[in-house]
């Protein structure tokens, strides 16, 4: 019979490092709590007033003691800062070649979309041993994607993308929570991360109900919403060509430059006049309220695909 678990199991590459830091901070906290209590208790007994007429002697300050109790906490705090910031930066950027999966939070469920077209609700299937990057957004309020066994947690915000990555080290099913109060049924916004062996994951990905890929769905949206009419591939349209744009530097009419990443493409779809490309007029209509978050994600996937192609004929300033 298993006893009450002291902590969630360690099921990702970062979990052990996070636990070491947590245990260190907890040990330091408990040590100084006990030390301060014992000193107070000792002083209470040693220097108690023994009679109503007793007058304590004046005590002069001690410079070495003051330096000591300033230096020791400063050193401990510095160690915690360097340790935690190093751990943060090591795990802030997903490794190159990470498998990307898209997550949309909505009251009160998690909607998952794989690039191959597989869609899930409140379940996330991933392969063992492979780094997984989650690109996340919310349809309504702030949510928080939290998998205790992986020691990963990140806010999921409306109107922008946040990213989170992990690399699972154990096969199994692990709890997924929303760790940000998001409304009346927040406590029911639960899910599971299911880690499979790589070959089993491939079989899962190939089986079941699978729609068209995100890139294919995005291409249909690109054509169906008339985007191709203005964003022509030869660069002769009244809007910039999307060929080779994703990931490149875009020159704006303000003289500034931006990188054409997910956030920029999303903003250009919903608020096209926020950043106008040099050499073009602000004539694109907003698609705010006309596209769901999943459709925007599919469009971005297609524009990413176009970003791998080279423009046929485009001036440098219009890229």
E strands, the chain, are 99-106, 109-113, 119-121, 123-127, 132-138, 143-147, 152-156, 162-166, 172-178, 190-196, 249-251, 257-259
In a domain, 50, yes or no: no
In a domain, 232, yes or no: yes
Task: Using DSSP, state whether 91 is helix, strand or coil.
Answer: coil
Enclosing domain of residue 289: 214-318
Instruction: State the CATH number of the domain containing residue 104.
Output: 2.60.40.420
199-220 mean pLDDT: 81
Are 77 and 124 members of one domain?
Answer: no
pLDDT of residue 318: 40
pLDDT of residue 218: 85
Distance of CA 116 to the CA centre of its chain: 21
Q: What is the pLDDT of residues 88-101, one digit of tens each?
A: 998 888 998 899 99
Are 72 and 119 members of one domain?
Answer: no
pLDDT higher than threshold 60 for residue 311:
no
2-16 mean pLDDT: 81
Orientation angle between helical segments 293-307 and 262-270, nearest 10 degrees? 120
In a domain, 136, yes or no: yes
**Residue 135: HSE in the Cβ half-sphere, 13 Å Cα cutoff:** 22
Are 265 and 228 members of one domain?
Answer: yes
Boundary of a domain, candidates 153, 184, 206? 206
Rg (CA), the chain: 28
In total, how many domains does the chain have?
Answer: 3
92-106, 234-248, 291-305: the lowest-pLDDT one = 234-248
In a domain, 48, yes or no: no
pLDDT of residue 243: 86
235-244 mean pLDDT: 81
Rounded alpha-carbon distances, angstroms, from residue 133 to 180, 283, 300: 21, 35, 16
Which range has highest mean pLDDT (42-56, 136-150, 264-278)? 136-150
Rounded alpha-carbon distances, angstroms, from residue 167 to 128, 129, 191: 8, 6, 18
Are 108 and 187 members of one domain?
Answer: yes
In a domain, 57, yes or no: no
Angstrom distance (rounded) from CA 288 to CA 310: 29
Instruction: State the CATH number of the domain containing residue 221.
Output: 1.10.760.10
5-31 mean pLDDT: 92
Boundary of a domain, candidates 51, 73, 92? 92
pLDDT higher than threshold 60 for residue 141:
yes
Angstrom distance (rounded) from CA 283 to CA 15: 49
pLDDT of residue 187: 92
Closest by Cα among 113, 101, 191 to 145: 191
In a domain, 1, yes or no: no
Are 157 and 199 members of one domain?
Answer: yes
Q: 212-236 burial, b for 16+ CB within 10 Å, e for fewer? A: ebbbebbbebbeebebeeebbbebe
CB-based contacts of 211, cutoff 8 Å, min separation 6: 117, 118, 119, 217
In a domain, 196, yes or no: yes
Boundary of a domain, candidates 166, 183, 206? 206
Q: For residue 12, what are the β-bridge partners?
A: 168
pLDDT higher than threshold 60 for residue 202:
yes
């Amino acid at each position: 019979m298993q006893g009450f678990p002291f902590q969630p199991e360690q099921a990702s590459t970062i979990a052990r490092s996070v636990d070491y830091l947590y245990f260190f901070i907890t040990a330091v906290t408990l040590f100084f709590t006990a030390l301060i209590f014992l000193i107070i208790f000792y002083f209470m007994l040693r220097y108690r007033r023994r009679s109503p007429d007793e007058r304590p002697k004046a005590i002069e300050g001690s410079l070495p003691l003051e330096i000591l109790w300033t230096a020791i906490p400063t050193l401990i705090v510095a160690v915690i800062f360097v340790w935690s910031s190093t751990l943060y930066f090591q795990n802030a950027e997903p490794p190159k070649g990470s498998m990307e999966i898209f997550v949309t939070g909505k009251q009160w469920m998690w909607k998952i979309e794989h690039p191959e077209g597989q869609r899930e609700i409140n379940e996330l299937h991933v392969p063992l041993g492979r780094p997984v990057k989650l690109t996340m957004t919310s349809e309504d309020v702030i949510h928080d994607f939290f998998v205790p066994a992986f020691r990963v947690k990140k806010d999921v915000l409306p109107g922008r993308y946040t990213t989170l990555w992990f690399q699972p080290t154990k096969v199994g099913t692990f709890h997924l929570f929303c760790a940000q109060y998001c409304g009346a049924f927040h406590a029911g916004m639960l899910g599971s991360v299911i880690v499979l062996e790589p070959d089993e994951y491939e079989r899962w990905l190939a089986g079941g109900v699978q729609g068209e890929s995100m890139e294919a769905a995005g291409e249909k949206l690109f054509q169906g919403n008339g985007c191709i009419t203005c964003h022509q591939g030869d660069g002769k349209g009244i809007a910039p060509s999307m060929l080779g744009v994703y990931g490149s530097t875009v020159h704006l009419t303000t003289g500034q430059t931006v990188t054409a990443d997910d956030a920029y493409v999303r903003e250009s779809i919903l608020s096209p006049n926020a950043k106008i490309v040099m050499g073009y007029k602000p004539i694109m209509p907003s698609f705010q309220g006309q596209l769901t978050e999943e459709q925007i994600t599919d469009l971005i996937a297609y524009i990413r695909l176009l970003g791998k192609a080279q423009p046929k004929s485009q001036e440098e300033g219009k890229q």
